[in-house]
Structure 1
Amino acid sequence: MDHYDMIVIGSGPAGRRAAIQAAKLGKDVMVVERGGRVGGVSVHTGTIPSKTLRETALNLSGWRERGFYGRSYRVKQDISADDLRRRLHVTLGHEVEVLEHQFARNQVSTMRGTARFTDSKTIEVEGEEGETFAMSADSFLVAVGTVPFRPDYIPFDGAVSVFDSDEILELPDLPRSIAVIGAGVIGVEYATIFSALDVHVTLVEPRSSMLDFIDKELLEDFTYQLRDRGMALRFGSKVESVTRTDKGCEITLEGGRKVRSEMLLFAAGRMGATKTLNLDACGLECDHRGRLKVDPETLQTSVPHIYAAGDVIGFPSLASTSMEQGRIAACHALGVAAHEPPEYFPYGIYAVPEISTVGMTEEEVIERGIPYESGIARFRETSRGHIMGLDRGMLKMLFSLKTRRLLGCHIVGEGATELIHIGQAVLNLKGTLDYFVENTFNYPTLAEAYKIAALDAWNRMGASVPEEKVKKQA
């Protein structure tokens, strides 16, 4: 039986970061991946594929140029599912090659197969042809990610008309209409991507709203944009049944209302991919969604030498935070001090338009009783926005009236997930309104929106100087 310092189950963002971190510390590491190639859900069915699909849709549809050339403008008139997949396969190939090279360069061992615990120190891996291998380790990291939630009342076929969020990447044809059940991050992303391709989209959500963690003013702007381009939003509508028909599918909502479409994407939740791990053998239990509970600081499970990271532990379920969780878990398992991640991290939603946010929302600021002021900039107020033909998009910042410190930054519109990092840096460095007012930004850029929003807040706050700055000048 081979023995390792650490065995990592899963090669997604958390798994690969943990494995490389452990290898850089001179440890023997084995990564077990049940997929065809390394990369996990993030590379093959989640983060990278959906973002590649989005970019392809925007490019081929001419979406970004319609502000100048009209809504009927297209780069390619007849866009097919094959057109969307072509770029996807090239991108995924590059991602896998980079990851395989990183493992090879750091001497991380890899094995393809399905892992299951036989006890708390040993796993058994079943290979592609049924062969089994036993191996042990001083510590383990469970980073198996998630799989789509597939309730019994949804008649999935995965090839014709009813898909989950993994299967939608292999859709045979681009439909004329699609219904999306679930207005979480995944559902909203795919719904808006299809809408950008001029597919009629109906978004169904049993709750009365979507993306509840987003600043409400930003969400109102986003929702207006979706309705303005013809998306049908069915909020507060519980699904009673789904039936496949000759023309696609029919969804019956509570109250008798029906939604008919050629295709259906069910994207209401995901489950931790822990079913095959035989967790009972190592003394672990998962919740009803297959997720593992961990110490938020060390990422340890209830079995101290077994760690878990990434989507399998739940919120925030971001590739970026999963990487940090993997690094922290590896360092703790190997007795090495790991610097703590910053208090605030950015959240990116790759919808059309993008949404990105960092820090407190206005609702959270009010709930905490912090006196504040907000500043807003519209992208159409910037010269770069005019050049790009943007008539939508906004940046909102929240500042403390007492300290003038930035409390939160929220963006909806083109490039939001890139622009947010300026706000993130200022927020985590405890910067103030004065940084944005006093500094110069490249011209013409969308980043100018930071200065516009800061001046908007400054005009209402007045030119008062914070007490500590007065003392410093004195």
Structure 2
Amino acid sequence: MNHYDLIVVGSGPAGRRAAIQAAKLEKKVLVVEQGKRVGGVSVHTGTIPSKTIRETALNLSGWRERGFYGRSYRVKQEISADDLRRRLLITLDHEVEVLEHQFARNRVQSIRGHASFVTPDTMLIVKDDGEELHVQGTSILLAVGTKPYRPETIPFDGKTVVDSDELLDLEDLPRSIVVIGAGVIGIEYATIFSALDIAVTVIDPKPAILDFIDREIVEDFIYQLRDRNMKLLLGQKAEKVEKLDNGKVSVTLDNGRRVLTDMVLFSAGRMGATDTLNLAAAGLEADSRGRLKVNPETFQTSVPHIFAAGDVIGFPSLASTSMEQGRIAARVAVGTIAMEPQKYFPYGIYAVPEISTCGLTEEEVKERGIRYEIGIARFRETSRGHIMGLDTGLLKLIFSMKTRRLLGVHIVGEGATELVHIGQAVLNLKGTVEYFVENTFNYPTLAEAYKIAGLDAWNRMGERPKEAPVATAQSLDPATSDTKKAASK
């Protein structure tokens, strides 16, 4: 029987980062992937595909130029599903090639096949050709990701009623679509279709969307969606979905309202892909959504040598955090010290427009009883915003009145997922409002919005009380000091 220091089940963000980390520590590593190619859900049906389709839709529709040329402007008049898929396939091929090269140069072994537990340290791998292989691992990491939740009451057919995975294989784009579920995935796809001038209706039983995001940012986001005629039916549950003889789909709500559409995207949650792992043989049990419970610091399950990371352990279910979870899990698994991750990480929602956030929301600050002040900047206030033709876009900074430290950064608008990292760095380095006021930003850039928001907050907070002089880089520089001395003489 083949023995490995670490067996990784799944090659998504958590799995591949864990495998490479363990290999760099000179451990014998095996990755088992049941998909046709390495990369997991992130590469083939999740993160990379949705973001590639988004970028393609924005480019071909001329979305970013409509501020100058009007809402009717389009780069390509007739955009097809094939147009979206062509760029997607190129991107996926590149991602897989990079990942395979990383495995090869780090001497990570990989096998295509389905893995399941036989004992807590032994797994059975069934390859595509039916060959069976038993492998043992000193440690095992489960990074199997998730799959769309598909209730039996929804008549999925892969054409007119689809989940987020099937959406990638569409042959034709619909004229109208109903998205059931206003979570991150549902909202991202809904806004992408809207940017393609497809009529979109979003249905969700909750009265609000994206409840983990700062409310002011969500309100601005919803205003932009409704301004382009997206329908948001919130606080209303889709009770029945049925396909009609004329090719349409009917969605009946709990209040009796009926919505007719060309296509339904059901995106009301995901399930951990653990149902075929035979967890019982390892002494493990998943929750009702197929997720595994772990120690949040070490990512160990209730069986100490079995770890889990990525979407299969639940929130925040981000590719970025999954990578870090996999890295930490791998280091713990092979007996190496793992540095504690930074407190604040960014959350990115690749909708149209983008949303990105890091740190505390205004609601969380209020709950903690912290005295605070807010600075706001709108992208149209920047010269770069004018150059790009931006009418929308908002950056919000939250500061403590007592310490003047940044508590949270929240952005909605073009480039939000890139811009947020400036705020993330200041948060983790415990920076204050003075950083934004006194720092120099490239001009013209959208990043200049940080200075505008910083000044907005600074003006409301008042100048910092006078303190003892603080040494600056200039005063500590020997050359500068010598020059000053010479001048005084």
**TM-score normalised to structure 2 length:** 0.95
Q: State how far apart, in whole Å, the 2-side matches of 1:49 and 1:161 are.
A: 20
Q: Distance in 2 between matches of 1:248 and 1:152?
A: 20
Shift of 1:473: 6.6
Identity of aligned residues (%): 73
Matched, 1:425 2:425: yes
Partner of 1:150: 150
Corresponding position of 1:170: 169
d(CA) in 2 for partners of 1:310, 1:217: 29
**Residue identity opposite 1:6 in structure 2:** L
Residue type of the alignment partner of 2:184: V
Alpha-carbon separation, structure 2, partners of 1:196 and 1:123: 46
Equivalent residue, structure 2, for 1:139: 139
Q: CA deviation at 1:472?
A: 3.9
Q: Which runs of 4+ in 1 moved over 3 A?
A: 469-474
Residues of 1 paired with 2:181 and 2:254: CA distance? 15
| CA distance in 1 between partners of 2:213 and 2:306 (Å) | 34
1-structure distance, mates of 2:327, 2:239: 43
- Residue 471 (structure 1) shift: 6.4
Residue of structure 2 in register with 1:219 after alignment: 218
Measure the CA separation in 1 of the matches of 2:269 and 2:248: 23
* Residue type of the alignment partner of 1:371: R
- Equivalents in 1 of 2:334, 2:464: separation in Å? 51
Residue in 2 aligned with 1:244? 243
The CA distance in 2 between the partners of 1:411 and 1:228, in whole Å, is 19
CA distance in 1, matches of 2:264, 2:129: 35
Partners of 1:281 and 1:248 in 2: CA distance: 46
Q: Alignment partner of 1:94: what SS?
A: helix
User: Is the counterpart of residue 119 in structure 1 residue 119 in structure 2?
Assistant: yes
Tell me the distance in 1 between the aligned counterparts of 2:412 and 2:24.
39
CA distance in 2, matches of 1:471, 1:387: 41
Q: Give ranges in structure 1 of 5+ residues lacking alignment.
A: none
For residues 216 and 470 of structure 1, what CA distance do their matches in structure 2 show?
39
Give the equivalent residue in structure 2 for 1:81: 81
Amino acid at match of 1:197: L
Partner of 2:281, secondary structure, is helix
Deviations 1:348-372 (A, max 9, x none): 0000000000000000000000000
Distance in 2 between residues matched to 1:298 and 1:304, nearest whole Å:
10
1:55 Cα offset (Å): 0.1
- The alignment status of 1:195 with 2:167, answered yes or no, reads no
CA positional deviation for 1:172: 1.3
d(CA) in 2 for partners of 1:473, 1:173: 64
Alignment of 1:311-390 (within 5 A): 311-390=311-390
Q: 1:225-251 CA deviation, whole Å, 9 max, x = no partner? A: 000000000000011100011232110
Which sections of structure 2, spanning at least 5 residues, go unmatched? 473-489
Greater gyration radius: 2
Structure 1-normalised TM-score?
0.98
Per-residue CA deviations over 1:234-279 (Å, capped at 9, x if unaligned) read 0000111000112321100011001111000000100000011000
1:208 aligned residue: 207
**1: distance between equivalents of 2:346 and 2:110?**
31
Root-mean-square deviation over aligned CA pairs: 1.0
1-side partners of 2:281 and 2:134: how far apart? 14
SS in 1 for 2:454: helix
How far does the alpha carbon of each residue in 1:109-131 deviate from its partner, in whole angstroms, 9 at most, with x for none?
00000000000010001111221
